[in-house]
Amino acid sequence: MRGVTIDRHGGPEVLTLTELPEPVPAAGQVLIRTVASSINPVDWKTRAGLLPTVPTPMVMGSDLAGIVVRGDGRYFAPGDRVITTWSQLTTGTGTWVGLFAVPADLVARAPESVSLTEAATLPLAGLTAVQALDRLGLVRGETLLVLGAAGAVGGLAVQLAVDAGMAVDGLVSREAQVPAVLGLGARSVTTRASGLHGYDAVLDTAGLPIPGAVRNGGRYVTIAQPTVPDQLAGRGVDAAVHYVRQSGTDLTRLVALVDAGRLRLRIAAHHPVREIVAASRAMEAGGLLGKVVLTF
């Protein structure tokens, strides 16, 4: 089977399409034929050597949407459409492969209302967004500021928070992104960090700390920085760095929202996996309103 590997860290040019042995699923695992995946920031940061990684060579990729080839005997059977995500950082084995074996409790049935290509944009970004919002513990009617609201995680977080009854504002990097985020349900969107203050909660998805935006006693979560801003100390702010957890249960929550029409998935570009270098360059150039999808 084909898979995308690296034998050293570097730019997109180190990504190589390689023939790999097919996996043999263990007890409790599901064997999935990959239909599509997507490119996440963790993928290019891993490839570039910006994050702690297992030694190369390694197989790349985090997201997966596909068809079950071999079920686990309990929850999934051959032919089921499914999605999952996987941590390439801890195992050195990612999802950009033709066949992938994964524990059944990390798998969810794919949304019925969208294609598997669209569904491939949901797993990692969706889990990150919903778990970060869970950590913030928002209550209906509270105010939330999403930093990086046009990104994959930020855009889903805006939708999830609006759906849960929050008043959501967004900060984006380009004026061209403002209409798109307003279209996701945000109350207001700006490119200027000055003047943002008094929010019950702030979610930083962009690595742009704005500690003054959260009120005293509020909540602040970052998914993009290794630490919370020092300026939050002494203000009674519940601040945390959030790390995503693999969870079939949380994926199922997200799928239900997609199928109910309450969560919209966004694709910026499609590339066959043989174009992985070009696809990675497109993603890293930034400015996209949606994810870059790989098809197998």
Q: Give the domain extent around 209.
A: 129-241
Tens digit of each residue's pLDDT (9 = 90 or more) over 91-148: 889 999 999 999 999 999 999 999 999 999 999 999 999 999 999 999 999 999 999 9
| Residues 12-19, mean pLDDT to the nearest whole number | 97
Same domain, 46 and 91: yes
In a domain, 254, yes or no: no
Judge if 223 and 156 occupy the same domain. Answer: yes
Is 257 inside any structural domain? no
pLDDT confidence bin for 281, thresholds 50/70/90: very high
Same domain? For 231 and 270 the reply is no
pLDDT of residue 55: 84
In the chain, the number of structural domains is: 2
Q: pLDDT band at residue 89, thresholds of 50, 70 and 90? A: confident
* CATH code for position 280: 3.90.180.10
Residues 116 and 148 in one domain: no
Same domain, 23 and 109: yes
What mean pLDDT do residues 50-78 have? 93
Q: Are residues 117 and 134 in the same domain?
A: no
Residue 248 located in a structural domain:
no
Model confidence at 32: pLDDT above 90? yes
Q: Are residues 12 and 118 in the same domain?
A: yes
Percent of the chain whose pLDDT exceeds 90: 93
CATH number of the domain where residue 236 is located: 3.40.50.720
Whether residue 296 has pLDDT greater than 80? yes
pLDDT tens, position by position, 192-235: 999 999 999 999 999 999 999 999 999 999 999 999 999 999 99
Q: Rounded to whole angstroms, what are the CA distances from 164 to 137, 158, 186, 188?
A: 11, 10, 12, 17
pLDDT bin (cut points 50, 70, 90) of residue 287 is: confident
Q: What pLDDT score was predicted for residue 166?
A: 98
| Whole-angstrom distance, CA of residue 97 vs CA of residue 100 | 7
Instruction: Note whether residue 255 is domain-resident.
Output: no
62 with 44, same domain: the answer is yes
Please determine, for residue 54, whether its predicted confidence score (pLDDT) is greater than 80. Answer: no
Residue 90 CB burial class (10 angstroms; 0-12, 13-18, ≥19): exposed
Same domain, 101 and 147: no
37 or 287, greater pLDDT: 37
- Give the whole-angstrom CA distance, residue 101 versus residue 99: 7
Q: What is the pLDDT of residues 251-267, one digit of tens each?
A: 999 999 999 999 999 99
Q: What is the mean pLDDT of residues 45-56?
A: 86
pLDDT over 80 at 53, yes or no: no
